[in-house]
Chain A
Amino acid sequence: MRTYLLQRALLGFVTLIGVTILIFLAMRVLPGDPLAMMTAESGMTYTLSDEELQSARAALGLDRPYYQQYLAWMADVARGDLGKSFWREEPINELIKRRGPITFQIAVLAVVLSWLIGLPVGVLSAVRRNTIPDYVSRVLVIFFVAVPPFWMALLIVLFGVLMFNWRPSLTVVQFWEDPSTNMQMVVGPAIVLGVGIAALTARMTRSATLEILHDDFVRTARAKGLREQAVVRRHVLRNALLPVVTVSGLALGGLLGGSVAVERAFGVPGLGTALVMAFSQRDWMVIQNLVLLYGIVFTIVNLAIDVVYALLDPRVAFR
């Protein structure tokens, strides 16, 4: 077991390195001068004069050979220095500290919601297969998988504005400062994302439970004389949770990616909106390091999911 965990950790670390290389390649090596958009000819709102361009280039280290740029960036990251935003002279660490908690709250709430809704719906759907509740949930699941989350978000905002004249706050308010305003900001995106992931979870749980219901040990439990409810609760549920754990990893990808669009739709001041704004302002440092942050979080959580899966199902570690 321990060797398996060490293996996965090593793999995760190697993947992280790969992530940084990928980001670096995309930002520096791909064709397209990073500062090209900021010259006067491009017609953007933010432009620089020639000398400013030169000093900007030197400041970003763009005139040094690639490997030096990469190593310098890695050294900075290792020290915990994520650089400064180009346009606003704000250290990116501050940006993350300010907006990160909001995005984090949304993510956690969405995952919890997806478990609370998705698991029972999936199990119910499987246990009462091909009855009305099953059909209804399957239709709902298919629908919510297809709906783009940012559209759902826009509809909710539209509804709120037209019916109640309500809009979520546009400035950052942390939970400990003002719980009510904070929750207003967080609840909308959390529901939208949570329901989307709940649909996937329900689908996965349903098919996993269906398979398990035909397994031998379930037949034994029934033969022993246990009530169906007890069979489901004590034996089926535990085993059905395993594929759900796997799906959670993929769902997380959708969560992180979808949260960007949903945050923007609600106007919530989280990391996602920061990323989008950095994009439109061509704020390279912010883009680079925020994407790195997303990549790191994703890799670490996937690693954690691998570990949890191995703990739940020891057979995995001995393949």
Chain B
Amino acid sequence: MARIEAFEAAQAEGAIPSRVPSEATVATRRGPSGVARFMRSSPLGTVALVFLLLVILLALLADVITYWDPLLTNYGSTREAPSAEHILGTDHLGRDVWSRIVTGARISLFVAFVAVLAGDGVGLVWGVVSGYFGGRVDMVSQRILDALLSFPGLILAMLLLVGLGAGLPTVIIAIAVTRIPLSTRVIRSVALTTRSLAYVEAARTVGASPLRILARHVAPQCIAPFLVIVSANIGVAITTEAGLSFLGIGIPPPTPTWGNMLGGVLAESFRPPWWLVVFPGLALTSTVLAANLFGDALRDFLDPRLRGRLTDL
């Protein structure tokens, strides 16, 4: 170890001409960067990514691009069709639909991203530990995951919300838990394969500690699958949150989310105003579509072998 450091120090000083490439130059390749290669490999995925970024941008700029306060009720102008004043109309309490959709994007996206990162993060750690160490930890984990997987996603989330009560943090936790089993399973199988690779065995033989092996050898193999799982789960998380809010079990009104805007229509279904049904749903569908397309493109780019294994609902 000391010799390498001395060598590099000498190189840095210029004493030894660096004809042998140091680590830095070997790692960076010439040619198009990863992002550029991704864009070339899947134009559709790139368009989807751009759309997603656009939606995120709109959500962040909500205060700037909307005129009306999303929570401001106005009993004088309820159920107005789209007009010059309210470009997407008003709902049954006179609130402007456009500002509610844009503000709703914030909540829907925030919940989805945080829940997916949390759930898949737990899945990553649990999968690595379960897959690498095996034994009884693995067996017990599998049984717990089986029990979690025995519930349809929405119902599991509902069950957890019963226990945890309504509200933003609990909805995030509930959705995160529904994302854990599948991500754990996929990462676990990656860890299992990595465990039996030759250079990992070599590292074990040389006496490297489990922590070092996990950090230096197993973890890098899991990065690509992790990214794919996260991108595949975003769409599902958005739909789950929307479903929960639609049923009145998720984010409670008056805070707008695309789901509870659709849920609000149920209360007056004798003559539902079409603009209250079409626009939130369009927002939902297009965002989930973009997320799915991007996820598929990312998966095809990073690891096509995962193609069959990520179907989940």
Q: How many residues of B contact A (CB 8 A)?
A: 48
Docked complex Cα distance between A255 and B153 (Å):
10
Chain A residue nearest in CB terms to B282: A151
Contacting A at CB under 8 A, from B276-313, are 277-278, 281, 284-285, 288-289, 292-293, 307-308, 311-313
Q: How many residues of A contact B (CB 8 A)?
A: 62
B148, B277, B289, B307: the one within 8 Å of A155 (CB): B277
Residue B176 at the chain A interface, CB threshold 8 Å? no
Q: Given the complex, which residues of A lie within 8 Å of B285, measured CB to CB?
A: 146-148, 151
Q: What are the interface flags for A253-287 relative to B under an 8 Å C-beta threshold, 1 for contact and 0 otherwise? A: 11111101100110100000001100110001001
Docked complex Cα distance between A148 and B281 (Å):
8
Q: Given the complex, which residues of A lie within 8 Å of B289, measured CB to CB?
A: 142-143, 146
Given known A265-B266, A275-B158, contact A253–B308 (CB-CB < 8 A): no
Given known A200-B311, A207-B308, contact A32–B155 (CB-CB < 8 A): no
Docked complex Cα distance between A27 and B160 (Å):
8
Are B272 and A299 within 8 A (Cβ)? Answer: no
Given known A251-B313, A298-B150, contact A146–B288 (CB-CB < 8 A): yes
Most chain B beta carbons < 10 A, residue from A146, A260, A287, A295: A146
Are B249 and A276 within 8 A (Cβ)? Answer: yes
Chain B residue nearest in CB terms to A150: B246
Are A31 and B164 within 8 A (Cβ)? Answer: yes
Residue A4 at the chain B interface, CB threshold 8 Å? no
Residue B146 at the chain A interface, CB threshold 8 Å? yes
Contacting B at CB under 8 A, from A179-207, are 200, 204, 207
Docked complex Cα distance between A257 and B149 (Å):
13
The residues of B with any CB-CB pair to A shorter than 8 Å are 143-144, 146-148, 150-155, 158-160, 162-165, 235, 239, 242-243, 246-249, 262, 265-266, 269-272, 274, 277-278, 281, 284-285, 288-289, 292-293, 307-308, 311-313
Other than A22-B151, A147-B288, A291-B159, give 5 A-B pairs with Cβ distance below 8 A. A148-B243, A150-B262, A200-B311, A258-B243, A260-B154
